[in-house]
Structure 1
């Protein structure tokens, strides 16, 4: 992270109100000083810019994520589905996919779909993907390890997870560029200040993505393979419990949520490790020398600088939080995941990257993957991708160093680098 510890100039906390522009570069380039000041002031205030009660304390964030009095939506039907009937016509294709997304559902529909997806994931045995992930990582590194400089976001962080997901869902790797383009255009809907052009691009991407997947599902219905789509089709046919539109939305979610977050975390983790190495003189490869050390280091990168900084929840009934804060049904809370991961009440030296922190089994659980029924279903795959991506990169490029100061994108809550220019050094 940047060594600039100044608060954003518009940061204000007064009378339970937080004033802070999430699009101010002084904030999104390094939000952690603002988080620290917010935590010192109690970690809970109304944040008008996001239209919600912002919560940063680790204990509160963790408990709200698991509290069934809060949900992703406030359902007005017994199926727990969102009502998108009022959405504009030019976003019809986008919201047709969102209507079946796990992120927009509550029980009982969420329970049914998540159970089917979990079954398909378990049957795939994520660990079996490890050799494929390592081979993809090595092939990408082959393309830049002897270069003078390389943008690791473009050359490594972005292509690796989309190639993994292409293998996972059983489509040719040649389709990866299209998958990546659709994902970028759809995820742009969640960034602040979206434009009509952003909306039209997202809707076109949703339409094309859904059409592509319908063809994939039709082909695999006739000739199943050893892939996630085939496993979901099998679940679909077992008792007619998974509709075709639901299946397509599940696959879109896996790509959009899983890919985008993993890209950002690879970039954030590499930056964190290189800055730690430069400051301490330690060898980056040393913190990945064993499986246990690598797992702990990956977890610490997820705590220290995670890709997702905000989860929204809605009160499903009147709730009183600690401190006497009362919420009515439908009130929104903004859970600041990255702030909770830097809460000094939960972690010693929270602003220090300590690669071995999670070798201690008593360390608090991180909030990077959410919690409760909406805990990230792709967390095991994300952790495996991160561990392999980092291990292979630092093993193959032992002289890797930053070439320029990393700069983050104007997308605050989805926190990731615009580019990561690095000098790979020479392979040994």
Structure 2
């Protein structure tokens, strides 16, 4: 039995890998290959918690109700031996406190039910023609140049414009929202420096202030948009509070933008490296959908999803018995699970034609990504339109991943077609 509080300091069940090491970040899948061969459950010393890389284990633990995104609904910080939260993160914490991603039942159940009333697949499907037109308009702006940095000129405007339009937020505010979003997500890496913490807190405060003003406007003059629908959403007499509305919109903007931008860039890398004929990959709606699902599996934008043990337990995972105490954190390695050779034949090969397609890129269980239907539409339209309009597209510079492990995406994607 291995106890999470006294992890091994050597041997196959303890690993020391600096997630900020550029060599690791540029070739995470090589590391994952070793981990799948040497042991899919291990204590990651730099993070200070157990991690799991096997597909079946990750999928199971995402659904295991003995774990949660938070633990303070069943224990106090004092009970867990945690220090008080620093005062300089008060505004950031205020936003996180009501985030759907961080809540557990019964608060999560109530909030998700209300949000789902306004944000369902059949409603976002109506956005497909608008997204398609946006993709064409963006390409119109750079097609004659023969070269483009895709992330800034294409991958970023698509989800940002879409989510702003969906929410009824002025598209002109996009650059400001983008700045706030970038600052906030820097809190989700290992040991963010003090400067990034202060910047994230300031961004959370300013973002919340901006949204409170928009919420007041929408209450006075509702429109045909998601923010108005969220304000009006009601279930058994319950509605979303202003704080819940603020946290929900920030989550939708941050998660809906950051992950999609990275996934478009990663998908281009996967497709072009495969040498497969894009005409077959995007021949029709069904082919496009399966190609996008393989892109999501092959090179996901989020590689670690953490959860807390809500009780003391003994956990069997991938042949390893692990003892966990209430409040212990675990890391579910989504990117590694998607490359598990026990689940996928030849997992490092990009193959949209493989049977038994699956991935855990959007999570599973209670916290399955509520924006997954919109993200899939954005990816299907962005990729199919791009290859249809620019059939000779290729990388003009060798793509490199940004030096960040948690959010895994390219730092630049310079493409040409002449």
TM-score by length of 2: 0.92
Moved more, 380-389 or 144-153: 144-153
CA 1:405–1:193: 2 relative to 1, 3 Å = farther
Matches within 5 A, 1:222-237: 222-235=220-233
Pick one of 187, 190, 204 that aligns with 1:189.
Answer: 187
- Please tell me whether residue 284 in structure 1 is matched to residue 282 in structure 2: no
Deviation of 1:283 (Å):
2.4
Moved more, 236-245 or 385-394: 236-245
Distance in 2 of aligned mates of 1:271 and 1:15? 32
Matches within 5 A, 1:355-394: 355-357=352-354, 360=355, 363=356, 365-394=358-387
- SS of the aligned residue for 2:305 comes to strand
The structure, 1 or 2, with the larger RCO (C-alpha pairs under 8 Å, 6+ apart) is 2
Pick one of 293, 297, 309 that aligns with 1:315.
Answer: 309
Give the equivalent residue in structure 2 for 1:129. Answer: 127
Deviation of 1:124 (Å):
6.7
Deviation readout 1:43-64 (Å, 9 max, x if unpaired): 0111111111010011110100
Pick one of 101, 106, 111 that aligns with 1:103.
Answer: 101
CA 1:326–1:123: 2 relative to 1, 3 Å = closer
Distance in 1 of aligned mates of 2:75 and 2:132? 45
Give the equivalent residue in structure 2 for 1:252. Answer: 250
Matches within 5 A, 1:272-351: 272-277=270-275, 282-322=276-316, 323-351=320-348
Distance in 1 of aligned mates of 2:121 and 2:27? 40
Distance in 2 of aligned mates of 1:173 and 1:393? 22
Pick one of 91, 112, 117 that aligns with 2:115.
Answer: 117
Matches within 5 A, 1:133-172: 133-172=131-170
Give the equivalent residue in structure 1 for 2:3. Answer: none
Deviation of 1:16 (Å):
1.3
Indicate the RMSD between aligned Cα atoms, in angstroms. Answer: 2.0
Give the equivalent residue in structure 1 for 2:266. Answer: 268
Give the equivalent residue in structure 1 for 2:5. Answer: none
- SS of the aligned residue for 2:268 comes to helix
- Please tell me whether residue 179 in structure 1 is matched to residue 191 in structure 2: no
Deviation of 1:214 (Å):
0.9
CA 1:237–1:47: 2 relative to 1, 3 Å = closer
Deviation of 1:87 (Å):
2.1
Pick one of 337, 351, 359 that aligns with 1:354.
Answer: 351
CA 1:207–1:124: 2 relative to 1, 3 Å = farther
Give the equivalent residue in structure 2 for 1:35. Answer: 32
CA 1:169–1:382: 2 relative to 1, 3 Å = same
- Please tell me whether residue 408 in structure 1 is matched to residue 406 in structure 2: no
- SS of the aligned residue for 1:399 comes to coil
Moved more, 379-388 or 240-249: 240-249
Q: Is the 8 A contact 1:18 1:46 kept in 2?
A: yes
Deviation of 1:122 (Å):
2.2
Pick one of 419, 423, 427 that aligns with 2:412.
Answer: 419
Distance in 2 of aligned mates of 1:343 and 1:78? 35
Give the equivalent residue in structure 2 for 1:16. Answer: 13
Distance in 2 of aligned mates of 1:123 and 1:216? 25
TM-score by length of 1: 0.90
- Please tell me whether residue 75 in structure 1 is matched to residue 72 in structure 2: yes
Deviation of 1:21 (Å):
1.0
> Which 4+ runs in 1 deviate beyond 6 A?
none
